[in-house]
Structure 1
Amino acid sequence: MTELSLRRHRPFIAFWLARVFTASGFQMLTVAIGWHLYQLTGSVLDLGLVGLFEFLPRLLFMLHAGHVADRFERRRIAAACQGLQALVALALLLGSSTDSISRELIFVLAFLLGLARTFEMPATQALLPNVVPLALFPRAVAASAAAMQAATIIAPALGGLLYAFGAQWVYGPGVLLYVLASSLMLGLHAEGQVLRKEPANLETLLAGIRFIRSKPDVLGSISLDLFAVLLGGATALLPVFAKDILLTGPWGLGLLRSAPAVGALLMSLWLARFPIERRTGPIMFTSVAVFGVATIGFGLSTSFWLSMAILVLLGAADMISMVIRGALVQLDTPDAMRGRVSAVNGLFIGASNQLGEFESGLTAHWFGTVPSVLIGGIGTLLITGGWIRLFPTLARRDRLHQPTQQQ
């Protein structure tokens, strides 16, 4: 890479590294919090409640977060949010060191973690088009996803191994990772953001929702993710599978959490080299259907290594859908609206992940762990078929980038 090329790509490299550190910190905290809480209470419902507390800030503040991302400098917003997550990790470090962590404290810190991520997500999603040219954006989405997945492979496994020495050995590195991410964001050079000066009111806060409703392909892609992953997500139950079904320990939990990221990383690297340019709609729906089938397979498996292999496939399928959806939403949205549209998209993603964890914990509490996962996988397949009928233009969409829609 020449000096000129390096200078040109330096902002994206800084952005890429910040995403690595943030993803690593979050994944390590997630493993430690899940195992810590399950050791503390032994309740699968509590594992689901952690996801609910992380999701509540998105439900309460996501529209405000989108307005903030369009009105203020996005890199500073992201840096501040990463600083808050560093404080959450610090509180967990101090609490574990003094043996003063309770179930209620974990819920409060999960809420604060969710609050920081609520404002961070639309800022970082809307920031990427200001860092790379739009012509390279699909590749940049895949490369950025690869960064997060690479971290997601290493961090959970490392978190599970470190937890054997004590929870503080996970929370401490988490603090450092978030501080590094915040520092990189503060030093990032981004261009082209259109800052909006109008005050927050109902009209401006709802502008992102109105825009999405006017774009069937955007609405269909993000709502597909919401309902499919809401039903199909089983990551909240991994501590139960690791301990009670697959008969392993925290190291096994770390490997299980890393397995989807292995598949996602391999697929994101492939998509960065060979981006999807044709038949984007059919490919996205097929990938979601594979996600549902893999979820059912994981629920039926009683072999640790088979479960690992299925989770790798699940992660690869999810990555295809995520890259298509992420690029489609940003490319079909003008810059002045990207923060608010990303906020609504973030609400859908949060619902499918954190609220999905609550749904998994609740159904596991009612029906049992394995039936909960099977019900979720079947539900994902039903949603996929239903969305093909509800959004036929998305199901038939050929090209990802449609220049006539660019603003």
Structure 2
Amino acid sequence: MSKTDPYQALRFKEFNIFLVLRFALVLAWSMQFVVIEWQVYSITNDELSLAAIGLCEFLPAFFLAPFAGHIVDKKEKRNLFRLCIALFSLISFGLFWLTSAYIETHWETSSILFGIYALVFFGGVLRAFFGPTIFSLIALLVPKKVYPNAATWSSSTWKGASVFGALCGGFLIAWIGVHSTLGIIFILVMVALVLVFQIDKKPILNTATNVSVKESLKSGIRFVFNDKIILGALTLDMIAVLFGGAVAIFAVFAKDILDAGPKGFGILNAALSSGSIIAMLATTYIPITKNTGKKLLVSVFGFGVFMIVFGASKLMWLSVLALFFSGVFDGISMVVRQTILQLKTPDEMRGRVGAVNSMFVGSSNELGAVESGIAARIFGAPLAVVMGGTVTLIIVAIISMRNKSLRELDLQQDVEDSYDDVKT
């Protein structure tokens, strides 16, 4: 099999099933995020309500992540993934029910908002498990020599679903309303639940039984913080999402600044994600294992630059263009980071490292929503985005100067070694 084969990972049946169910799952989650953000802001007309949504999901996702990683390393991954999807279906149905005509007629607005926040909090609990479970499961679906290609296709699928989900979320709100859109989301989650049964159970690689929970958690965190390459990659992505991202306040830009309405809201979300997926698909043909560290630094820097352009823009076409190129750089950085993690993480620690990754990056989406909402309330949405992009550029410059291991990272030898292992 050719080392440059862009379809390596797709030659494994279970990985293809995983991609389809992940597409359905992320499509549902992406649409749900768009719909709930729009619904809550429409009810409250307050940027702080968007911050509250981010906080409700961040708190459990962040603080439960280390425990989730420990559990994932000890449990069978397919069944754990199935349980997570089943519980997510309850959240989707709950949101569908809360937006029904009956509830809107018989419940007070404050009670409906409380119910939405409660379900979002429950979703944060699941997010703590989803990240490390998916990260660990991918490594059990393909051999190690295919990890870089699998990371690219998995990330591309995630972003592709985000593109379609963001676009559909905005348009479906305008066409069929919030309640019916949430009904479609529930159906998508059920499709993912059916598909996960097509994947066989997987072996548990961490067989150590005499290690306490405390020691297990400490070993996972210690591994990440002692590895300058992994720590630097996670820090870069966390800062970019935390300060450079503006997804949580796209509703403010669409409604109050660009006067684009729900359709424009969907387009803004889709512009960012579409740039990412195009870049990710390109990496299946253009290897990113050469000069990996430099490519990561440049991609995060480029993301910050174009987010500043977006924040300063008052024109819809310029805003869409800026978000598209932000997405291109974001897509490259995501593939590079996932490749680094897959190749540098020992099999028996994938759950815990995946959990730390969720704490750094996954949870920073929600914390970023809190930061964006508060900053938009204090400084206004445009200035908040410009300031966040500027902070991103400063952090990239600092890490580039201080982390030589990451700056000079080249994964080409790691990939070649994995091929040699297979041959022997």
Normalised to the residue count of structure 2, the TM-score between the two structures is 0.91
Task: Return the match for 1:85 from 88, 106, 110.
Answer: 88
Deviations 1:224-252 (A, max 9, x none): 11123211011111000000011011111
CA distance in 2, matches of 1:401, 1:16: 28
1:83-232 mapped onto 2 (5 Å cutoff): 83-97=86-100, 98=102, 99=104, 100=107, 102-164=112-174, 165-189=176-200, 191=202, 193-198=204-209, 200-232=212-244
Q: Is the 8 A contact 2:77 2:202 kept in 1?
A: no
* CA displacement, residues 114-154 of structure 1 (integer Å, 9 cap, x when unaligned): 11121111000111011011111111111111112221111
Q: Deviations over 1:140-173 (max 9, x none)?
A: 1111111122211112211212212221111111
Shift of 1:352: 2.4
Q: 1-side partners of 2:10 and 2:280: how far apart?
A: 24
Q: Is residue 280–residue 397 contact of structure 1 (8 Å, CA) maintained in 2?
A: yes
> Runs of 4 or more off by more than 6 Å in structure 1?
403-407
Distance in 1 of aligned mates of 2:188 and 2:82: 12
The answer to whether the aligner puts 1:293 opposite 2:312 as a matched pair is no
Would the alpha carbon gap of residues 332 and 405 (structure 1) be closer, same or farther in structure 2, given more than 3 Å must change? farther
**Matched residue pairs, number?**
403
Is the CA contact (8 Å cut-off) linking 2:50 and 2:370 kept in structure 1? yes
Contact 1:225 1:352 in 2 (8 A): no
The answer for the alignment partner of 1:50 in structure 2 is 53
Q: Which amino acid aligns with 1:363?
A: A
Tell me, in whole angstroms, the C-alpha distance in 2 between the residues paired with 1:109 and 1:339.
Answer: 25
User: 1:232 touches 1:373 (CA, 8 Å); kept in 2?
Assistant: yes
Matches of 2:321 and 2:201, distance apart in 1: 40
Task: Check conservation: 2:72, 2:133, Cα contact below 8 A.
Answer: yes
Using a 3 Å threshold, how does the CA distance of structure 1 residues 185 and 195 change in structure 2: closer, same or farther?
farther
For 2:20, the aligned partner's letter is L
The AA in structure 1 aligned to 2:296 is M
Identical positions, percent: 35
Q: Residues 208-287 of structure 1: matches in 2 within 5 Å?
A: 208-287=220-299
Inter-CA distance 400–185: structure 2 relative to 1 (3 Å threshold): farther
Q: Following the alignment from structure 1 to structure 2, what is the Cα–Cα distance between the partners of residues 121 and 7?
A: 21
Please tell me whether the aligned partners of residues 9 and 142 of structure 2 are also in contact (alpha carbons under 8 angstroms): no
Query: What is aligned with 1:368?
Result: 380
The 10-residue stretch of structure 1 (27-36 or 203-212) with the greater mean CA deviation from structure 2: 203-212
Q: CA deviation at 1:404?
A: 10
- Find out whether 1:60 has 2:70 as its counterpart: no
Contact 1:233–1:352 (8 Å) recurs in 2: no
- Per-residue CA shift, 1:261-305, capped at 9, x if unaligned? 111111111112222121111110000000100110000111112
1:379 aligned partner: 391
In the alignment, structure 1 residue 11 sits paired with structure 2 residue 14 = yes
